[in-house]
Amino acid sequence: GIRAALPWLGKLAYITLASGFLMTDIFWLRGILAAGYMTLTIYHVLQLHPLRIPLFGSLVFCGVNSAMAVMLLRERYLMLTDLESRIYGEHFESSMSVSSFKTLMAHGKMVLATEQSALINAGEVPDLVLVLAGEAEVVLEGGNTVVGEGALVGEVSFITGAVASATVLSSLGSSYLVWTPERLRQALEENPSLRNGLELKIGRELIRKLA
């Protein structure tokens, strides 16, 4: 019966705990550790003479990891506005976590073009700009070109620190996400996960433009 299954329950608990440490995502790490410690708690409870210290230790670790998993769940999936959810799904889901995206959004601003104006000026250190909806016009010596929704502009200068080689104009009715380089670089230094995600996003954009 139950007693015969206890050794297997203990093995399951330790296998679950060990697998948790293989997770690279902090949410899954916390969730699997919580499940493992819960299983270990049940294992101790069902003993004929439970050892109090291992029992309460497992219970505490289960509670701590469960609480952290709930906090991460809320941060990732329950705290995006409808607009943020759409932006994340369309532009950032494949390159960064929701928590990194929230940080990225907090360091930028949304701009709705009510008239044509310069988003980036040639010869100046540019902002990093994402075209959310509509388009932007890149002014070049050989003729202007238009970039559409989802395009990044100013990304090469953001990587190299060089000034912009072309002026970029907004288009009436279009919307953009704009980040100033100084503020964004500071956020990247403080958040390696965000840095990796944004580098992946920029890398994919450069590959797309070169294709």
The string of DSSP letters for 55-106 reads: HHHHHHHHHHHHHHHHHHHHHHHSS--HHHHHHIIIIITTTS-HHHHHHHHH
Q: Which two tokens stand for residue 122?
A: 């040639």
> 52 vs 45, 48, 183, CA distance in Å?
9, 12, 51
pLDDT value at residue 88 = 93
Q: Count of CB atoms within 10 A of residue 58's CB? A: 22
Please check whether residue 117 is in contact with residue 169, taking contact to mean a CB–CB distance below 8 angstroms.
yes
Q: Which residues contact 134 (CB under 8 A, 6 or more apart)?
A: 113, 148, 149, 171, 173, 174, 175
- Chain center to CA of 90: 13
Mean pLDDT value of segment 95-107: 91
Assess whether pLDDT exceeds 80 at residue 44. Answer: yes
Assess whether pLDDT exceeds 70 at residue 1. Answer: no
Please check whether residue 127 is in contact with residue 178, taking contact to mean a CB–CB distance below 8 angstroms.
yes
CA distance 47 to 205: 58
Nearest CA among 136, 169, 140, 161 for reference residue 151? 136
At residue 37 the predicted structure's pLDDT band, cuts being 50, 70 and 90, is very high
pLDDT in tens, 62-78: 999 999 999 888 766 65
The pTM score is: 0.65
